[in-house]
Structure 1
Amino acid sequence: MQSQDDVVARTRPSRSPARLLGALAVVLALCALSFWAGRITLAKPQARTEAPKESVIVDVTEQSVGRSLTVNTTVTTPRQPLAPNTMAGTLTALSAQDSYAAGDVVYRVDNHPVRVIAGSIPMYRDLAAGAKGADVTALNAALIAMGHLSGEAGETYTQATARAVRAWQKALGIEQTGSVARGEVIIVPSLPLAISFNEETAVIGNQLAGGERLLQAPGGDPQFVMQLLPQQATLIPNDTVVTVKYEDHSWPAVITETREGEGGNTKDLTLRAPDGGVVCGSECAVLPATDTQYLSTAAELVPPQTGPAVPVSALTSQPGGSTEVTVIEGEAERQVPVKVLASQDGLAIVEGVKVGDKVRVFGGSKEGA
């Protein structure tokens, strides 16, 4: 018969070596985790040290700063017809000049050159030796302007006039008659003049009988309008000085009116000369002979300022509100108060230092003269 102790011993769970090793591993892991946590919790925080700012030394130089916005100005010019053609034949060529002076060829009929001169009456007759009148005066003035005749432009067609006409005809490569037929010359009010062609009547190959209005010229003052996006218009107040440019010509202008553009998507800024006149003044004749053209225009948002210039990073603000730069003199340096006159794109024009001084610029990577 089994004893009670034997029965109890048999009912107890047995502890295998594997289970004992697993329990030991868990205990060791918990100890290691507690040790690591204690290290992290008890370690002292490391202090952050800022590296000193590096700097460079630069020379004070004379510079100009300012700000402008470049946009297009639309120029529209009304047109009026000039004197009609009086030569019959086939229109064989049209000139392609922006502006015409005395004696210039404007078109050809049967390959014969039709020229332009300035005068007070139209060319209504043939001109030859002995003729008198305002049309002869216009011819003599043109011959003088071209260098074929000297003296004053009289109203009489003299032998000198005839010789000058033959010289003109020789230069053109046409028959040297010494006289001018009615259809060979067009008289216009003034020269130089931006002459354009009527697109309906001035077509090469057209048969001309006389009386056709082939030529047209500006019939009033050109209108200058800057068309801007609303965002651009907010940058340009009405007192902004603008400069309109065409080739080597520059014309100052002011804004006299601002209105909504067509469709409400633009702002139209009307320009006039500072004295209230037309922008191009006495030089409007140099503009191309087109109804509409676009000219580059610079709007001066910040007036240019010239003087000693330093990088903005050389400036330091003081508690009292003043501004200083560090001027280097040999091995020594001193703080110099300055007045900032203008700044743009990291450059400042200042009073208080002179061109050639050396100043310290903070935030650089190396030192140099």
Structure 2
Amino acid sequence: MSEPLPPATEKVVRGDLASEVRSFGVLQFSGDRRVKNQMRGIFTWLPSASSIVERGERLYAVDDMPVFLMRGELPAWREFKAGMKDGRDVRMLEENLAELGYVDFTVDEEFTEKTEAAVKRWQKNNGLPQSGKIELGRVVFAPDILRIKKASVRPGDPAEAGAEVLQAGGSQQRVTTEVPEEAQELVVKGAKVEIELPDGKRIPGTVSSVGAQKLNKDNKKVVPVSVKLSSPGGVKNVQSADVIVVLSRVEAENVYSVPVTALLPLEGGGFGVQIVEGGKVRRVEVKTGAFTNGRVEVSGPGISEGARVGVPKL
């Protein structure tokens, strides 16, 4: 006589059976930078904390004249003007002018008459004297946008060459965490992980650096780890947040698994499951393997991918 139908069924799944190792971390922006001034005069305007400054926007002002942010890896170190020696800084300036819409020149390392003309147009549009020259300090180069953390001076303070003006961070978000010693093999550089946000959403990440093993405040061995977010936009509107770094450990590869609740104890010992097919139920004995995340590896007659097994009703 066939057994009665179970209250619910679940599919047999084939694939890797993985467990999760979870560690607490902090999501924050990396790329901290201290902006130094090269102008002389009086600071007349400074950006507010948490504001974002992008390419071509004013970063601060001296004597009521703005200093602008531009993109580049090399710090500004000399005045830009006709007849100056060719250099990488000239290319950086021309790349920025082109990105801002001033395009009537060839982007290269030479400051030409056409570059000078583009500079004059840029100066006119930004309320600067149209000299065709850019004095040292009028533009600040940074690799990315700047997220202002705080100003190191106040309006009315004297502006001196080499003095720190702003403390800022970049646009790249990262997560720092400390992984337990027993999970150290899961966090090699380049390993894929998931970041669980406070709202429960998960986003992908990649291990970018692994530090030397140390003792944490609880005197347990841990490994410091940094994780770079894989999603291009990162997490919007978040300056800092407590998150969970989720690491996956493969317990069994390419196996059949069912929910643990599908297991039924057999009279002679061991476990079986109910195979449901064509409105009929048959109980079969199964051999169990790895257990993880509420699932169990099983093998036996009738166990195949997509087969349905009985489970309690949720």
Provide TM-score, normalisation by structure 1. 0.56
The yes-or-no answer on 1:312 pairing with 2:254 is: no
Alignment of 1:192 onto 2:144: yes
* Change in CA separation of 1:332 and 1:54 when aligned onto 2, cut-off 3 Å: closer
Q: Residue by residue, what CA displacement relative to the aligned partner does 1:173-220 show, whole Å, maximum 9, x if unpaired?
A: 4247262431553444x5126576775x433332324442324678xx
Residue in structure 1 matched with residue 200 of structure 2 by the alignment: none
What's 1:358 paired with?
308
Does the CA contact (< 8 Å) of 1:149 and 1:160 recur in 2? no
Q: Is the 8 A contact 2:286 2:298 kept in 1?
A: yes
Q: 1:197 touches 1:214 (CA, 8 Å); kept in 2?
A: no
Say if 1:67 and 1:304, in contact at 8 Å, map to a contact too: no
Which of 265, 274, 277 is matched with 1:329 structurally? 277
Provide closer, same or farther for how the CA distance between residues 314 and 156 of structure 1 changes in structure 2, counting only shifts above 3 A: closer
**Equivalent of 1:113, from 59, 66, 69?**
66
Q: Distance in 2 between matches of 1:81 and 1:92?
A: 17
% identical aligned pairs:
19
Distance 1:343 1:123, change over 3 A: same
As a proportion of its length, which structure holds more helix? 1
The aligned residue for residue 177 of structure 2 is 226
Q: Deviations over 1:262-319 (max 9, x none)?
A: xx446473435xxxxx754999xx99xxxx9666341426548898654323223557
1:33 corresponds to? none
The answer to whether the 8 Å contact 2:30/2:174 transfers is: yes
Aligned match of 2:132 in 179, 186, 192? 179
Higher strand share: 2
Distance in 1, matches of 2:204 and 2:279, equals 52
Instruction: Name the structure 2 match of 1:239.
Output: 185
The higher radius of gyration belongs to 1
Residue 269 in structure 1 maps to residue 217 in structure 2: no
From the superposition, tell whether residues 144 and 319 of structure 1 become closer, same or farther in structure 2 (CA, over 3 Å): farther
- Preserved contact between residue 325 and residue 338 of structure 1 (Cα < 8 Å): yes
Per the alignment, residue 250 of structure 1 pairs with: 205
Contact 1:271 1:279 in 2 (8 A): no
Partner of 2:122: 168
Query: How many angstroms apart in 2 are the aligned matches of 1:164 and 1:89?
Result: 28
Cα distance between partner residues in 2 of 1:348 and 1:227: 29
> Which residue is 1:24 aligned to?
none
Aligned CA distance change for structure 1 residues 96 and 186 (closer, same or farther; 3 Å):
farther
The aligned amino acid for 2:115 is T
CA offset at residue 71 of structure 1? 0.7
Does the residue aligned with 1:226 lie in a helix, a strand or coil? strand
Alignment of 1:207 with 2:158, yes or no, is: yes
Matches of 2:270 and 2:196, distance apart in 1: 45
Matches within 5 A, 1:1-369: 55-60=6-11, 62=13, 66-73=19-26, 83-94=36-47, 102-117=55-70, 118=72, 120=74, 122-125=76-79, 127-134=80-87, 135-149=89-103, 152-169=106-123, 173-175=126-128, 177=130, 179-183=132-136, 185-188=138-141, 191-192=143-144, 201-215=152-166, 226=177, 233=180, 236-241=182-187, 243=193, 245=195, 250-252=205-207, 256-261=211-216, 264-265=217-218, 267=220, 269-272=222-225, 280=228, 296-300=243-247, 302-303=249-250, 310-317=258-265, 323-330=271-278, 332-338=280-286, 340=288, 342-344=290-292, 346-348=294-296, 350=298, 353-354=303-304, 356-361=306-311
**Two-structure CA RMSD over aligned residues (Å):** 5.0
- Amino acid of the structure 2 residue aligned with 1:149: V
Q: Aligned AA for 1:179?
A: G
Aligned length, in residue pairs? 289
Q: 2 CA distance for matches of 1:246 and 1:208?
A: 44
What TM-score results when the alignment is normalised by the length of structure 2? 0.64
Gaps in structure 2 of 5+ consecutive residues: 198-202
- Whether the 8 Å contact between 1:54 and 1:364 is mirrored in structure 2 is no
**Cα gap change, 1:175/1:255 in structure 2, threshold over 3 Å: closer, same or farther?**
closer
